[in-house]
Copies of this chain bind each other. A is one copy, B any other.
Amino acid sequence: MDILEIISTRRSVREYKKERPSDGDIKSILEAGHWAPSGLNNQPWRFIVIDDNDRKEGLARFTKYDDMIIRAPVSIVILFATTDSYDRDKDMMAMGACIQNMMLEAHSLDIGSCWLGEITNRKEDAAMYLGLDNDLEIVAVLTFGYSNEPITEGWRKPLKDMIIL
């Protein structure tokens, strides 16, 4: 099956219904992330699933997108395990592949998601709040839930402008 439609119709979803995606669907999203490729297959990703109000509110304090974390039924904190690192640029690319897998899997299950990178501005404070070991670095938070907003248009530059030579 050609999955270009799944890829090209995924959008950032910022308004969610209250209904929580099932544990099975959350597990599928985590599995999808975990099946990402990584250099030397070092699998440098780790995950924290946050779906209780206390931790939502606790985590939300460290980003200006606090409302989204509070409203989303589930957030997943994406961690980079620095002890598994072999090349930071390549590890970050692996982390991006992991995140993209999760958002694509969610979209294929009709679950909306949003990639919040801004929280890294206060990643040390957020890590301290979560009680993380020093070798776990927050690189993003993903919010998940069923969309409660209109489908938006995506926009990209013309593909021909991205092809060199």
- Residue positions of A touching B, CB distance < 8 A: 1-4, 6-8, 10, 12, 27-28, 30-32, 34-37, 39, 41, 43, 45-49, 79, 87-90, 92-101, 103-105, 108-109, 115, 117, 120, 130-132, 136, 139-140, 154-157, 159, 162-165
Chain B residue at minimal CB-CB distance from A12 = B37
**What is the minimal beta-carbon distance from A92 to any residue of chain B, in angstroms?**
4
Chain B residues with CB under 8 Å of A90's CB are 117, 120
Chain B residues with CB under 8 Å of A36's CB are 100
Residue in contact with A34 in the complex, picked from B79, B104, B159, CB distance below 8 Å: B159
- In the bound complex, do residue B3 and residue A6 qualify as a contact, i.e. CB atoms below 8 Å apart? yes
Q: How far is the CA of A70 from the CA of B1 in the complex (A)?
A: 28
Q: How far is the CA of A3 from the CA of B31 in the complex (A)?
A: 11
Chain B residues with CB under 8 Å of A94's CB are 96
- In the bound complex, do residue B3 and residue A104 qualify as a contact, i.e. CB atoms below 8 Å apart? yes
Chain B residues with CB under 8 Å of A164's CB are 46-48, 79, 132, 136
**What is the minimal beta-carbon distance from A79 to any residue of chain B, in angstroms?**
7
Known: A79-B164, A93-B139, A96-B100. A8 touches B37 (CB 8 A): no
Chain B residues with CB under 8 Å of A162's CB are 30, 34, 43, 45-47
Chain B residue at minimal CB-CB distance from A103 = B37
